[in-house]
Structures are given as C-alpha cells and as structure tokens.
Amino acid sequence: MPIAVILGGGFAGLTIANKLAIKLKKRKEVEIVLIEPADLHLYEPGLLYYPFNDKPMSKLEKPISKILRKNVKHIKQKATKIDHENKKITLEDGKVIDYNCLVIATGVDLKEESLGLTDKDNVHHFYSAEATLKIREALKNFKGGNIVISPSTVPYKCPPAPVEFAFLLDEYLRRKKIRDKTNIKFLYPLPRPFNIRVVAAKILKLFEKKGIEFEPFFNYDKINTENKKILSFEGDKASYDLLVIIPPHEGQDVIKESGLGDKEGFVITDRETLQVEGQKSIYAVGDCTNIPASKAGTVAHFSADVIVKNMISKLDEKEPTARYDGKTLCFLVTSSSKSFLLDFSFKKEPRKIGLHSWRIYGIMKKLFQYLYFGGLITGRI
C-alpha cells in the first residue's frame, strides 16, 4: 500500500494531512501517516496579543487528536534522519518508517540558547507560549525607560510581527500612562521595516506619528547584559531597560542531518513546484523551506493546495502540474482594533494600501482563530 508521510504536524503538516485525508477518504489504498512529537497545537498568531492581556495560554491551544482526521495515523515521535535514497525515516526510538511520498513540514528551530541569556536579563520575545508569559510579566513590572525591539536574524516567522508588536506596545504603554516615560526603538537589519515599499512607507509614517524610533541597517551581533546594550556587527549599539529580540531561526537538525538543507538548515525547495531539490518524491511546505516567501501560515495554506493536488496526480500516474505563485495574505496590525490587509505574490506587489477598512480588518484578525481551527487547519478551506 502506498504510504504518504507528513513529517511535522504544525499548521502546515496538519493542514496537508487533513486535506489529503479528505481527498483520499474513499480510496483506502493509501495510508496517511503524520510524524509529530507534540500532543497540542498552538495558534501562533495569537501570541502577538498575549503579552498585553491576562488570558490563559490554553485559549490558544487545541489537542492534535481533535484536529486530525481519523484516517491519518499519528506517530508521536521525533524523526532523526531521512534516508531519501531508500525512502525511509528513522525515528528517535530507532524505528524506521517507509514512505512512497514525503512532505516535510518541520518548521523552524528557534535558537534561544544561542543568545546566552538568563531569566533575570530582561531580554524577552513573544515567539513561544513560555516566552510570551515571561514578557507579559516583564511588561507588567515595567515602569518606564528604553524598550528596544530587534530581530536577531532574517528570515524570521511572520515578517510584520515585530512591527505589529511595536504598535501594540505603544498602545499598551499609553493605557498604562507610562508612554511619556518610555522610548521605543526599533532596530532592523534591512533598509526598511517591510520588503514591500508602499507598506514600509506606511509603517514609517505610523512610527513617526506614534514616536517609535526606527534604525535601519542594524545587524544584530550580541547582547551585553552587564551594560544592557545590544550591539551590531557594524559597531552600533543601543541601550535598553527591556529588550525584545526575535531569536535566531534555523532549520531543524533532521534536515541538516539528512543533507536536504541550505547552510541555515532550511529545506532547499523549488518555489513553484514545492519539490525538494533533486527529490521527485519529497515536497516541503511552511516555515521549513527556503522559498522566497514569508514564513507565514498563509503561505503554508496556499502551498498546501498545490502539494495535495500534485501528490494526487502522482498517485493517479498523471503529470503533477499545480504550481505555487507566492500568494500571501496578511493582516498587518497597527493597533488592537485596526489592521490593513495585504495581498501579494511572487509577481504582484500591492501598489497602495486600502485605508477605509482598517477597523473591519482589525476585527477579522482577532476573529481569525475561529477560521484557523474551524476551517483552515482541518483542511476544509
């Protein structure tokens, strides 16, 4: 019996597993297997709001058993190696799983430990549930001073997230009545805070209006926790009382071990076919790839349709013809009640930003969690 294996059950892996399960429901000849060590799935886009509220983190979580369709077998383990010549995957306990077709969806490895910090350094981020609870406490205790925001590497998940965080932070500090005692500084390695010019211009205008200082070309090098300074490779520095740093992103060890990654361990993937370089039976999806698209759930969602179509074509011994065009949809939050919607692809950039529907998009972004768990990740949409 052909075996379709999905390696990694985050947003991308669960979406693909469920979409395949729907399409192949009546075709009992294919076994669908998901390899994922976790029991719970976290709705990551919600992490953006949680530093500024008191809600329990459990509101962002759902058991994988409640998301995954019955005709998918879940193996709760980590994979350690992909033997692509013999189409075998080795698991942590030494067992070996065969596949006919494989989808890699292992996401990114956040290298927090490489920052070399301790809990008392007042250096934080909001890219995991645990870290978000800590930054929430730090913000509660914050009485004023310098807050610096900076990514440590590019690319990182959800390119607008640090900008959105800055806007929400500004609003939070105003609510706490300590905005006038606080400087917010946004350091960025690139010349502008978003790769699309028209969006960057809008962000810079809002930064100016809200008194958020922007410093481009700041390539993070290290943190000096004794002097509370963040330093760049170019020799620039900024003093902080609270530092928000997006941890370094790399591909997972299993990718590096299997020789399928670039130098950061991201899977070398064709941006249109989503096939892994030199591998006819392996696709890659989501944050784990090196395609020139955002590391975002929306990219995973549109890519998933392409991969599922091509896998089914292969099963039917037809030529796989579906192609990903870089389609990305993104609500960029500018306050707790407003955001603007961006729609772009490899070939199409937004030329102007709709100004009129900000509030409605703000509401949509907040309600998105229902669509995410109800339709997207279950493979229905």
Ligand X SMILES: Cc1cc2nc3c(=O)[nH]c(=O)nc-3n(C[C@H](O)[C@H](O)[C@H](O)COP(=O)(O)OP(=O)(O)OC[C@H]3O[C@@H](n4cnc5c(N)ncnc54)[C@H](O)[C@@H]3O)c2cc1C
- What is the rounded CA–CA span in Å between residue 296 and residue 280? 25
- Can you list the alpha helix ranges (DSSP code H) found in 176-319? 197-210, 253-257, 297-315
- What is the rounded CA–CA span in Å between residue 204 and residue 138? 27
Contacting ligand X (CB under 6 A), which of 6, 60, 106, 261? 106
Q: Give the sign of the dihedral formed by CA 311, CA 317, CA 318, CA 321.
A: positive
Whole-number minimum distance, CB 296 to ligand X, in Å? 3
Task: Give the position of tokens 């590096």.
Answer: 256
Q: Is 293 in the site for ligand X (CB under 6 A)?
A: no
Closest to ligand X by CB, 314 vs 366, is 366
Q: In the numeric block, which tokens belong to residue 231?
A: 């330093």
Q: Is 284 in the site for ligand X (CB under 6 A)?
A: no
3-state percent helix, strand, coil for the chain, nearest multiple of 5: 35, 25, 40
Whole-number minimum distance, CB 36 to ligand X, in Å? 5
Local structure of 281: helix, strand or coil? coil
Q: Is 297 in the site for ligand X (CB under 6 A)?
A: yes
Residues numbered 207 to 226 that lie near ligand X (CB under 6 A) are none
Total number of residues that touch ligand X (CB under 6 A): 35
Q: Is 374 in the site for ligand X (CB under 6 A)?
A: no
Q: Which residues, 6+ apart, have CB-to-CB distance to 105 below 8 Å? A: 6, 7, 8, 9, 10, 12, 13, 16, 284, 285, 286, 288, 300
Q: Is 379 in the site for ligand X (CB under 6 A)?
A: no
Whole-number minimum distance, CB 318 to ligand X, in Å? 27
Q: Is 296 in the site for ligand X (CB under 6 A)?
A: yes
Binding mask 329-358 for ligand X (x = CB under 6 A): ------------------------------
CA atoms within 13 A of residue 371's CA, in its CB half-sphere: 11
- What is the rounded CA–CA span in Å between residue 329 and residue 351? 15
Contacting ligand X (CB under 6 A), which of 126, 172, 240, 344? 126
Q: Give the sign of the dihedral formed by CA 358, CA 364, CA 365, CA 367.
A: positive
Q: For residue 155, is the peptide bond before it cis, meaning its omega torsion is within 30 degrees of 0? A: yes
Contacting ligand X (CB under 6 A), which of 115, 161, 223, 376? 161
Local structure of 13: helix, strand or coil? helix
**Strands (E) located in 105-181:** 109-110, 123-124, 145-151
Q: Is 250 in the site for ligand X (CB under 6 A)?
A: no
Q: Is 158 in the site for ligand X (CB under 6 A)?
A: yes
Q: Is 78 in the site for ligand X (CB under 6 A)?
A: yes
Q: Is 157 in the site for ligand X (CB under 6 A)?
A: yes
Whole-number minimum distance, CB 207 to ligand X, in Å? 19
Task: Give the position of tokens 């959800």.
Answer: 158
Q: Is 376 in the site for ligand X (CB under 6 A)?
A: no
Taking CB under 6 A as the binding criterion, the range among 153-161, 180-188, 270-278, 371-379 that sits at the site for ligand X is 153-161
Residues numbered 31 to 60 that lie near ligand X (CB under 6 A) are 35-38, 44-45, 47-48
Task: Give the position of tokens 């075996």.
Answer: 3
Q: Is 148 in the site for ligand X (CB under 6 A)?
A: no
- What is the rounded CA–CA span in Å between residue 245 and residue 277? 32
Q: Is 185 in the site for ligand X (CB under 6 A)?
A: no
Contacting ligand X (CB under 6 A), which of 4, 12, 149, 187? 12
Contacting ligand X (CB under 6 A), which of 52, 244, 261, 287? 287
Q: Is 9 in the site for ligand X (CB under 6 A)?
A: yes
Contacting ligand X (CB under 6 A), which of 18, 298, 310, 334? 298
Q: Is 199 in the site for ligand X (CB under 6 A)?
A: no
Task: Give the position of tokens 């006819």.
Answer: 280
18 residue type, one letter: N
Whole-number minimum distance, CB 177 to ligand X, in Å? 26
CB 289 within 8 A of CB 275: no
Whole-number minimum distance, CB 208 to ligand X, in Å? 24
Which positions lie near ligand X, rule CB under 6 A? 7-13, 35-38, 44-45, 47-48, 78-79, 105-107, 126-127, 157-158, 161, 252, 254, 286-288, 295-298, 300
